[in-house]
Amino acid sequence: MRILVTGGAGFIGSNFVRRMATRPDVDMVTLDALTYAGNLDNLEGVAGRHTFVRGDICDADAVTKAMDGADAVVHFAAESHVDRSIATSAPFIRTNIEGTRVLLEAARECRVRKFVHVSTDEVYGSLGATGYFTEESCLAPNSPYSASKAGSDLLARAYCETYDLPVVITRCSNNYGPYQFPEKLIPLMVIHALEGRELPVYGDGGNVRDWLHVADHCSALEAVLHAGVAGEVYNIGGRNERTNLEIVKMILYIMGRDESLITFVKDRPGHDRRYAIDASKMERELGWTPAYDLERGLTETVAWYVAHREWWESILSGAYREYYERQYGVEL
Ligand code: NAD
Ligand code: DAU
């Protein structure tokens, strides 16, 4: 099977490429623009198992070339950070909506047999104290990021209905694990704790997220790639609801650091209060279950960031950008 993986130099995409690189019957092309979030260091060790193409998913020619001969597309490429979307929404609309449209058009032309559109639970908006998001929940996004993802989901759905493109949409909860860009909650807090800096918790720290180890997200996506039914949506989640404050305290406990590092800061505008996923359809129909419990996953994740100081220091210093300029001879 030949797969085109978009966004494969990012956090989840690179974990997926690494997983699929162990499958002898899979041939992969990774298409990634190497934005600030893309990092070839994330793909170290699998260079011989996929073809890396630097390209923008909004560029129809680059996409068509990269998709040539593909049986399936697994589409991760996106602007992914909510806070950035609040500061500037334009790149989110461009990549997440227009980029997805370009990919869907190319997938029609190339007659791919499966298009896995990797989306997020954030398209459902925010929950109160009880209840879960199911695949039937209404889309009610609250940030420019989640609105752009919801837009891309609706386009993907429309291409399936209108053109019979075999699209499957997945909506996953918050991921954590190795290679996550250090702007996101867990790596940011681990790095701040390592450096003895304040840990900035938004608002009262009572917002709830449903955490899933990235390896479990990737195993779910592999199951969807093989057995997901065209036109269907699959929710993916870990049944690991925790408040942000609980997560930050767990990190400090694992690291043996003092809770006095916690600092409450101004809240995120439009901050979704609670996400919780009902993943029973994935479990029932595709036989998927997560392997990690949160305590083990978080302990291993903290250990990974401690052991990979060079990886995150090169991001924080900006050195990883210079590497691409040398590699590609272009300023990014
Ligand atoms: P990320 O920001 O770490 O990686 C995104 C990747 O996409 C980067 O490598 C970047 O270079 C690439 N990219 C961005 N714009 C591009 C463009 N125009 N053309 C080609 N490549 C481009 O993101 P992530 O956290 O790995 O998320 C991957 C996908 O999973 C996203 O679609 C996101 O919405 C979804 N998702 C993420 C989470 C999470 O917790 N991180 C949870 C559910 C769903
Ligand atoms: O739910 C899936 C989504 O999870 C994905 O679609 C997004 O791509 C991904 O970024 C993530 O979105 P969140 O906004 O939930 O993740 P983030 O790591 O930015 O924040 C997690 C929670 O922690 C959120 O309630 C905001 C809070 N937070 C975040 C940061 C960066 C803080 O309290 N302090 C911080 O410094």
Q: For 6-19, how does the pLDDT look when each residue is reduced to its tens digit (9 = 90+)?
A: 999 999 999 999 99
- Identify the residue whose tokens are 């996101």: 184
Q: What percent of the chain has pLDDT over 90?
A: 95
Q: For 268-282, how does the pLDDT look when each residue is reduced to its tens digit (9 = 90+)?
A: 999 999 999 999 999
Nearest protein CA to atom 10 of ligand 2, as residue: 81
CA dist., res. 184 & res. 209, Å (int) = 13
- Active-site residue, from 124, 132, 145, 275: 145
For the question of residue 179 being annotated catalytic, the response is: no
CA dist., res. 240 & res. 210, Å (int) = 5
Q: How far is the CA of 72 from the centre of ligand 2 (A)?
A: 30
How many C-beta atoms surround the C-beta of residue 255 within 10 A? 18
Check residue 314 and give its pLDDT.
94
Q: Are the beta carbons of 127 and 276 closer than 8 angstroms?
A: yes
Is there an atom of ligand 1 within 6 Å of 175 CB? yes
SS3 31: strand
How many C-beta atoms surround the C-beta of residue 139 within 10 A? 15
CA dist., res. 278 & res. 134, Å (int) = 5
* Range(s) of the domain holding residue 47: 2-266+273-328
Mean pLDDT of 292-308: 98
CA dist., res. 183 & res. 96, Å (int) = 19
For the question of residue 145 being annotated catalytic, the response is: yes
Domain tally, the chain = 1
Mutational pocket test of ligand 1: of 17, 19, 35, 102, the residue with most ligand atoms within 8 Å of the beta carbon:
35
Is there an atom of ligand 2 within 6 Å of 5 CB? no
Check residue 332 and give its pLDDT.
43
Is there an atom of ligand 1 within 6 Å of 187 CB? no
Predicted confidence (pLDDT) at residue 163 exceeds the cutoff of 70: yes
Check residue 327 and give its pLDDT.
67
How many C-beta atoms surround the C-beta of residue 94 within 10 A? 15
Predicted confidence (pLDDT) at residue 325 exceeds the cutoff of 90: no
CA dist., res. 110 & res. 3, Å (int) = 12
Closest ligand 2 atom, residue 185 Cα = 18
Check residue 233 and give its pLDDT.
98
Check residue 319 and give its pLDDT.
86
Check residue 321 and give its pLDDT.
79
Q: For 77-120, how does the pLDDT look when each residue is reduced to its tens digit (9 = 90+)?
A: 999 999 999 999 999 999 999 999 999 999 999 999 999 999 99
Q: For 19-76, how does the pLDDT look when each residue is reduced to its tens digit (9 = 90+)?
A: 999 999 999 999 999 999 999 999 999 989 999 999 999 999 999 999 999 999 999 9
For the question of residue 32 being annotated catalytic, the response is: no
Mean pLDDT of 250-267: 98
Tell me, what CATH number does 126's domain have? 3.40.50.720
Closest ligand 2 atom, residue 83 Cα = 19
Q: Are the beta carbons of 302 and 248 closer than 8 angstroms?
A: no
Nearest protein CA to atom 34 of ligand 2, as residue: 201
Q: How far is the CA of 185 from the centre of ligand 2 (A)?
A: 6
Q: In which region does residue 186 sit, left (phi positive, over 0), alpha (psi from -120 to 50) or beta (all else)?
A: alpha
Going by pLDDT thresholds of 50, 70 and 90, the confidence category of residue 328 is: low
CA dist., res. 138 & res. 117, Å (int) = 18
